[in-house]
Every structure is written in structure tokens, then in C-alpha cells.
Structure 1
């Protein structure tokens, strides 16, 4: 595998960071996966020194963890950390929804509607990459139109970190149908310039997604713990 880039205005380092980030967000690199520096250099056709700078940036974004004596791996989110991230995301998305109701242009609202249609088309699809990309693009429009660059910056980072959890919640039976309905209500509130309603609906949407993802995570944690207990007593 070899991934090469044109030497254009965007620096090579930024291109590699963006490509690595996208691979993690889309799930091509999965949580807990060990990343071999030599292989990464070959794949991206870059030097080891540049790749180390890339990994340092992704570590700063909490997308990878550099483990002493073991090297880099894709970060895994634990249950307590997930609860904290969802709580912060819920508060910030409420702000983003309110801001979007105040500042979004008609073209922004049309873009939200277009991206929601793409999300709806993903129902029943085996590959979740298209769904994740459509959901991310929906949020890109929402955050660009909310009028608050700080909210945009923080939420973009949080959403990048929890894409594995979003896939977990959206993969539950019936969740995508509910998601489409919830996002349509948010768009309608934004179109009607009802900032208070848009804020509440955004918070409720995140709360519902959080409940599902955290329940699945808690169940998985219990199953892992039980397996370890059995192994210990054998």
C-alpha cells in the first residue's frame, strides 16, 4: 500500500494529518489498534521524522495514544470518559443549535436538509462509512452556521473522538430512523428561527444518542469483566 500526495499549497504534514484523522474517524483504524510507525511511513511515503510530528498532533487531539515502550495506538474511550464527553457535547450542541437558528442562511438550511437526505439514504447499508460521513457533513454545516467559532472548534474535536461511539449508537435497531426524525425537527426549528426550541432539540438528540451508546458500552464492559473473571478462576 502506498499513499502519495501532490506537493501543493497545503503542506505535506497537514495532508498526512488530515488523512490519518479521516482514517480514524471513519473507522479504517479502529480503537485499540496498534500503529506501526515504519508501516505508516511506507503507506504515506513520508519520512519517519515527519510521521512522528503527525503522531504528536493526533495525540494532542486525543485520537491516538502513545504508549511507553509500545508505540502509538488508536485511542480507546472508556465508559466514564464517554459520559463526560457526551455531557459536554450536549451543552455545546444546544448552543450550536440556538446559534444556527439565529445566524444560518437559507443556503445553510438547504444544505442541512440535503445532508439529512443523505443520512436517510444510509438506512440498511452494510458499510457505515457513508453514514458517518453524511452525519459529519451535517454537523459541519450546523457548526459553520452557528456563529460561534469556539463552539465549532471544540465540538469538531469531540465529534472526531467519539465517532466510534456514534457508530455504536446509530447501529442499534431503529436508531437511524429516530435520528432522521430528530434532525428534521432540529432543521424545522432552525428554519422557523426558534432558537430556544432548536437548542432543546439538539440537547435531547445528543441525550438520546448518549443513552444508547453508554448502555451498549456498559454491557460490553460487563461482558469483558465477566470473561476475565472466568479466565482467572479456571
Structure 2
């Protein structure tokens, strides 16, 4: 779509999503600290958008649990407490363990090959040492696992906690030595779910991966409290 003079005009909805994705990535990457105030003027300049678009984006991120509206301060980066993290990791262990078991039972050849390809993508991302690429590749790995489980309720539930999970995942992956261990745990998941098609082994591998990440993320949260 163009304006009268023929120049491109950015559309409101895609603009809002662009800001949501950019700000979400910045929060996950710890560019903004927990509890830090988010100034609308600065965000308008950063993303070259109007105050209206920024406010809409902030409202969406509030529903995702990444932004909190504080009286007399305005929007701030939400603070995840150790209690919040424990709740999320308990839920993740249940969801991902079930997804792994169902994947082993239900996935066809195409889904199994897709999970192996997603693992290769994670390996390539981890080789770069870029946390943003690592998190994006892990997201795609889990999307593939959940899709292959054939359970839409799991996928819908995970979508609701995804943003907060990304914050915690970033905390654990920044811990020294975690990346290599995490990668081996994903290999164990693929071996159990896609290669051996062993539901119980897949469940255990998924749950172990979540538990190990949770220990590190909780330690990081408690150290910063």
C-alpha cells in the first residue's frame, strides 16, 4: 500500500507486531533489566513508530507476562520471582514430558526427520555462541516436538507461557557450560523420541532437560534477588 505521493506506508498491525517482536527479543536478551522502566518516547525512537503503536505493543507484552503496568511509573519489565520460575518449570516438565512421549508414539517419518533437522539447526546456532540465534533455534526445536505430538492442547498451553519461558531459558543458557549440556540433552530427546520411538525414555529425557535448566535458572534468579 502506498501514500498519495507513491511512498510506502507501513501498516498498523504489522507495525505493532514488529515492535512486539523486537521488544520481546530485547527483554529476553536482557537488554532491559527486570523492573526497568520502559519509556514510551525512547521506544518510539528505537522502533520509529508512533506512541499509539508502542502502547499497543506494551499491552500485548503485558498479556504475555513480560511487562507490568505499575501505578505512578507506567510500564516496566516484569520481574519473575523464584516462585514464578518454579511454577513454570513444573508446568514445562509436565507438558514437555507428555509431548515427548506422544511424539514417540504418534510421529511419522516426516515428523521424525523434521525433529532431527531441528536438532541440527540448534547445533549450528550453538556453534555461533549468539544467544539470540540459540533461543530462536530452540524455539523451532520445541515447535517441531509439539507439532509431532499431535496434541493441540499442549501447543496452545505452551503458547501462553512461551515468552516467560524464553526469559528463563536465556538465564540458564548464559550459565557457563550449560550450552554444551543442553545440546546433549536435546540429542537424548531426539534419540528417544525420533530414533528409538520409546515413549517412556522420551518422557524422561524431556523432563530431565527441563529440571536441569530449572536448577540453573532458579539459582540465577535467587542470586539476583
Q: If the length of structure 1 is used for normalisation, what is the TM-score?
A: 0.80
Is contact 1:89–1:158 with CA below 8 Å preserved after alignment?
Answer: no
State yes or no: 1:135 paired with 2:105.
Answer: no
1:64-90 deviation digits (Å, cap 9, x = unpaired): 111111111221211111111111111
Residue 148 of structure 1 corresponds to which residue in structure 2? 151
C-alpha distance in 2 between matches for 1:21 and 1:217: 19
Question: Is 2:66 aligned against 1:58?
Answer: no
- Alpha-carbon distance change, 29 to 147 in structure 1, aligned in 2, over 3 angstroms: farther
C-alpha separation in 2, matches of 1:194 and 1:9: 47
* Distance change in 2, residues 1:8/1:47 (3 Å): closer
Q: Which residue of 2 aligns with 1:229?
A: none
Give the CA deviation at 1:161: 0.7
| Distance apart, 1:121 and its partner CA | 3.8
**Structure 1 gap ranges (5+):** 222-234
Aligned residue number for residue 101 of structure 2: 98
Structure 2, unaligned runs of 5 or more: 1-7
Give the count of matched residue pairs.
217
Find the residue that maps to 1:214 and give its secondary structure: helix
User: How many Å separate the matches in 2 of 1:100 and 1:6?
Assistant: 44
Over the residues paired in the alignment, what is the CA RMSD in angstroms? Answer: 2.6
Alpha carbons of 1:55 and 1:112: their partners in 2 closer, same or farther (altered >3 Å)?
same
1:212 aligns with 2:207: no
* Pair 1:50–1:123, CA change in 2 (3 A): closer
Q: Please tell me whether the aligned partners of residues 28 and 170 of structure 2 are also in contact (alpha carbons under 8 angstroms).
A: no
Task: Give the TM-score taking structure 2 as reference length.
Answer: 0.83
Report the CA distance shift for 1:130/1:15 in structure 2 as closer, same or farther (over 3 A). closer
Shift of 1:7: 4.1
Name the CA distance, whole Å, in 2 between partners of 1:171 and 1:71.
Answer: 29
Note if contact 1:93-1:155 (Cα within 8 Å) is conserved in structure 2: no
Q: Is structure 2 residue 89 aligned with structure 1 residue 86? A: yes
Residue of structure 2 equivalent to 1:43: 46
Q: Structure 2 residue aligned with 1:114, among 105, 114, 117?
A: 117
Deviation >6 Å, runs of 4+: none
Is the Cα–Cα contact under 8 Å of residues 26 and 133 in structure 1 kept in the other structure? no
